Structure 1
Amino acid sequence: MTATAPDYRRLAAVGPYFALDAAATATDGPPPGFRPLRELYAAGPDAPLTARVREVARRLGTAEPRVAASILHLGLAARFCSVSLGAAVLLDVVPDLDPDRAYVRVPDQGPIDLWAPYRRTPEPWTHGSALADRLHHALVEGQLAPLAAAVRAAVPLSERLLDGNAASALAGALRMLGPHAAPGRARALAADLLERPPLAGTGTLRGAGFRRNSCCLYYRVGPNAGVCGDCCFARPPRRR
């Protein structure tokens, strides 16, 4: 059988956070407006991520940069978790989103656009832990780790808070995949990743529900913000 490129169009049917634009041939390049993903992880006062934190703070109406940085990180982590877990479950592949090969476009609103280079579909990795190993390497180590480092370079935040954000994003992708995936398959992969460092101990997965052991700080946006559905707090803590 001749290997072909994965049909990433199937991911868009799940939702916008799962969508992935990818090269159809080895010679295709990214569409206009896309920049190397590595640039998103740059540090410094003029770096794209630093500027994005300021924009998120403005839109949220918060004077606390760490709140804006955490909310931004959670959204970006959700984007990477969704497209990676979705492709693994629905297509038996892990997208090539290596920061030195993939490209990104940051719209004014909504999830970031992602573009992956050409890749042929390998033999299905449905047996043993091969797919989970590949997903951990590509997603947790290849995308979430540099993302967290870039966010912490822009705004000091607890590593464990960002690990909790990543775990929450992964669990959110699992819930979204529910109607589209074979029963239990997406959960098994998500549960495997949540048992490995650095996500191990970030929360508890029961069925498709998740309760994290940390807080993303959303409640600090304003007096009526409340807490997220998977927050460690049952109600917003009293602010000093």
Structure 2
Amino acid sequence: MRALVLLAFVDLDPELAALGSLGGFFVLRTGVPRRGALPDLAHAYTAAPSDGPEDVYRDPLTFRVRKVARSLHAPEARVAASIAHQGLAARLWSVALGCAVLYGRVPDLDPGRLSWDPDGSAPEDLWLDEVRALPVDALDAVVREAHLVPLTTALASRHGVSERLLWGNAGSALAGAVRMIGHWARTEGRADVAERARGLAAGLFAHPDLSGTLDPTTGRRRSCCLYYRLPGGGVCGDCCFDRPPGRD
């Protein structure tokens, strides 16, 4: 008979300190950003696209895509848009899922309360103004609905990258967060945490936006993030390709 595992949860603390043990992608800064006011993600998703001089406040999303394009020498805007999207998706899933498995609650990550530094380095620099606890069953609404839906729409319409590809990014990012939690759980002897992460992710993958983005047997994507198109870029560990297309 299988033993019953009891999960010991604690209340969300004002600094979400427990996330630090999971790694940099899981950390969420709270309070007022040290460098001063930053644009919030609600503005980033809805700001009118700007073709003029780069302005981190007027059009944060385009600013980020251009920064990624320059730093990685991306040959096309859609390649930089895909990589920028995956970076944000990975951060959002990691924060929310990390809280869900360690605290038994998720923080309210309303885009209007979550500041972002588009000029920062990876992983994405995010600041939450105040920690407010929500039940775990809000996990999908907190990340996919509140963030990934408007982010995907904005990047697809502005930069010509397919929504199917972007939802593949989101699925890959979620699976990556589960793997990182699993690695931590093995190191710490917390099989209960790994099991909970897998269970929550399974529920998230049931939504039509994410269902079918990964092969259920191999865990490999059914789309490509376009990383191979960067100079010197190859294929990712979960890529649908065995080798970069067009190369022997």
TM-score by length of 1: 0.83
1:97 paired with 2:106, answer no
Give the counterpart of 2:30 among 22, 26, 34: 22
| Equivalent of 1:88 in 97, 100, 107 | 100
Q: Following the alignment from structure 1 to structure 2, what is the Cα–Cα distance between the partners of residues 186 and 6?
A: 23
Instruction: Report SS of the residue matched to 2:215.
Output: strand
CA RMSD of superposed structures (Å):
2.2
| 1:81-109 deviations in Å (ceiling 9; x for gaps) | 11111111111111211112222233432
Does the aligned pair in 2 maintain the 1:6–1:119 contact within 8 Å? yes
Q: Match for 1:143 among 147, 170, 176?
A: 147
Larger deviation, residues 69-78 vs 48-57 = 48-57
Relative to structure 1, is the Cα distance of residues 108 and 6 closer, same or farther in structure 2, using a 3 angstrom cutoff? closer
Query: In structure 2, what is the equivalent of residue 77 of structure 1?
Result: 89
- How far apart in 2 are the matches of 1:34 and 1:93? 26
The letter for the 2-side match of 1:221 is L
Question: Equivalents in 2 of 1:106, 1:50: separation in Å?
Answer: 9
SS of structure 2 residue aligned to 1:17 = coil
Count of aligned positions: 221
Amino acid across the alignment from 2:108? D
Q: Which residue of 1 aligns with 2:62?
A: 50
Distance 1:120 1:44 in 2: 32
CA displacement, residues 2-21 of structure 1 (integer Å, 9 cap, x when unaligned): x7746511112211111112
> SS of the counterpart of 1:53?
helix
1:159 aligns with one of 134, 155, 163? 163
- What's the counterpart of residue 34 of structure 1? 38
Q: 1:192 aligns with which of 182, 191, 203?
A: 203
Q: Cα distance, 1:227 vs. partner?
A: 0.6
Q: Check the 8 A contact 2:39/2:60 in 1, yes or no.
A: no
The aligned counterpart of 1:234 is 242
CA 1:183–1:110 in 2, change beyond 3 Å: closer, same or farther? closer
SS in 2 for 1:176: helix
Distance 1:105 1:52, change over 3 A: closer
5+ long unaligned stretches in structure 2: 1-10, 52-58
**1:175-195 CA deviation, whole Å, 9 max, x = no partner?**
111124523110111111112
Q: Report the TM-score when normalising by structure 2.
A: 0.81
- Kept in 2, the 8 Å contact 1:67–1:218? The answer is yes
**AA in 1 matched with 2:117:** R
Other-structure match for 1:215: 224
Q: Identity rate of aligned residues, in percent?
A: 49
C-alpha distance after superposition, 1:156-211 (max 9, x if no partner) = 111110000000000111111112452311011111111212101111345xx721
State the partner residue of 1:68: 80
Q: What letter corresponds to residue 82 of structure 1 in structure 2?
A: S
- Residues 64-97 of structure 1: CA deviation (Å, up to 9, x unaligned): 1111111111111111111111111111111211
Aligned to 2:18: 10
1:227 alignment partner AA: V
Residue number in structure 2 paired with 1:108:
120
| Counterpart residue number, 2:212 | 201
